[in-house]
Structure 1
């Protein structure tokens, strides 16, 4: 079941609203910082290697363990989940991105509840913690959970890029395929790392996210 459940979680049809966000990519393309497929690939590789997405991916195993303990009746584990979830949110510079994380997390939790997998208590979780709960509830393996999280982030970025650049769906799929080794390698490394001991050099991404709400005309949600 776990492999099929992972396919459902990374599907663009998952009703969490990820398609409506560009996470600053729209700013970078409007400013011509990213103008073509090669520059887009370089940007995605840099974010996978050094960006804030790494902190979230590295936190997933700890979130998964705490959520498993919580669902088994260890009420103190709820505090561990909320503490790490709050730390991840605080690591994001942009209020818009924090709002995105809360919205997508809430939508995923609502969907899981409708599927018969509600949280032990009704609390708000952002996207990474909600993703970990989905993995716990649907019995997705830890390694696949981390890979799927990074894969889904890349897929959403490419979905945005197709609407912003002269980049067709076929080229986007080829680019996604070329990034698979990097996604797998990063997932293997990050699931063994403490997120609080990692660094990020995603200053450009943070500035782009902060600037997005100020765009005169924009396609994506802030």
Structure 2
């Protein structure tokens, strides 16, 4: 039943805010960086590679480090320093707060407000990746499942954005989602067990497209 509950929590229908962000995809389409289906497949692979190499090590450390101590403070500072694009930084913090409130309503006995209180005391932003990991750990979910569904959310949200932007049809989008699950095992085996000190950004062009988002005349997404 734990897996079923986790699938419910990461369902796109829950109001976590991820539907509002394209993470640079809209500007990539607008400025011609993605023009063809082949371009989009390459974008998806690069995007998932960066999610795996950056987020999974922070999730591993955030799950295994002693709770609410000096080591966690260092981890949180390092993660914050990784998010150099202002719009991406704002989106991460907004989703982090929303996620913790959502989980608190579902798991009132898990003492999740202690997480946000600690981050406020330390004057550190509570980013989504850390909020996601720490809250679900407190709720009793295993790390391996959290890392797998995090990749699932990353892939799903990019494809949903592409569909809403009119680049893909719904059936084509779901077929791509099915195909890309084949790369998850490789990404997880390579990055899931790393510590946050081994995290890396691997697709700097994605950061560039996110920074270009502010120059779009008409926006469907916030980022």
Alignment of 1:37-52 (within 5 A): 37-49=37-49, 51=50
Structure 1 position 184, deviation (Å): 2.5
- Measured at CA, do residues 189 and 130 of structure 1 come closer, stay the same or move farther in structure 2, by a change above 3 Å? same
| 1:80-159 equivalence runs, <5 A | 80-115=71-106, 116=108, 117=110, 118-121=112-115, 122=117, 123=119, 124-159=125-160
| Aligned position for 2:122 | none
Report matched runs for 1:3-82 at 5 Å.
Answer: 3-49=3-49, 51=50, 53-66=52-65, 69-70=66-67, 77-82=68-73
Change in Cα spacing, 1:119 to 1:83, as seen in structure 2 (3 Å) is farther
* 2:163–2:173 CA contact under 8 A, matched in 1: yes
Q: CA deviation at 1:18?
A: 0.3
- Give the C-alpha shift of residue 114 in structure 1: 1.7
**Structure 1 residues 16-25 or 178-187, which shifts more?**
178-187
CA contact (8 A) 1:143 1:188 kept: no
Q: Structure 1 residues 81 and 193 mapped into 2: Cα distance closer, same or farther (>3 Å)?
A: same
Task: Give the Cα separation in 2 of the matches to 1:26 and 1:167.
Answer: 13
Query: Following TM superposition, by how much is the alpha carbon of 1:28 offset from its aligned partner in structure 2, in angstroms?
Result: 0.6
Question: SS of the counterpart of 2:215?
Answer: coil
Q: What is the CA-CA distance between 1:190 and the residue it aligns to?
A: 1.2
Q: Distance in 1 between matches of 2:171 and 2:135?
A: 30
Distance 1:61 1:53 in 2: 11
d(CA) in 1 for partners of 2:5, 2:74: 27
Q: Report how many residues are paired.
A: 213
**How far does the alpha carbon of each residue in 1:64-106 deviate from its partner, in whole angstroms, 9 at most, with x for none?**
123xx43xxxxxx333333212312211220110110000000
Residue 107 to residue 84, structure 1, CA distance change in 2 (3 Å)? same
Distance 2:81 2:217 in 1: 27
Structure 1 window deviating more from structure 2 (140-149 vs 189-198): it is: 189-198
Specify the SS of the correspondent of 2:141. Answer: coil
Counterpart for residue 73 of structure 1:
none
Shift of 1:53: 4.9
Contact 1:27 1:212 in 2 (8 A): yes
What is the deviation of 1:29? 0.5
Cα 1:208–1:161 shift into 2, 3 Å: same
TM-score by length of 2: 0.88
> Is contact 1:82-1:125 (8 Å) kept?
no
Question: Would the aligned equivalents of 2:104 and 2:113 in 1 still touch at CA under 8 Å?
Answer: yes
What's the offset of the Cα at 1:145?
0.9
Unaligned runs of 5+ residues in structure 2 are: 120-124
CA RMSD of the aligned region, Å? 1.8
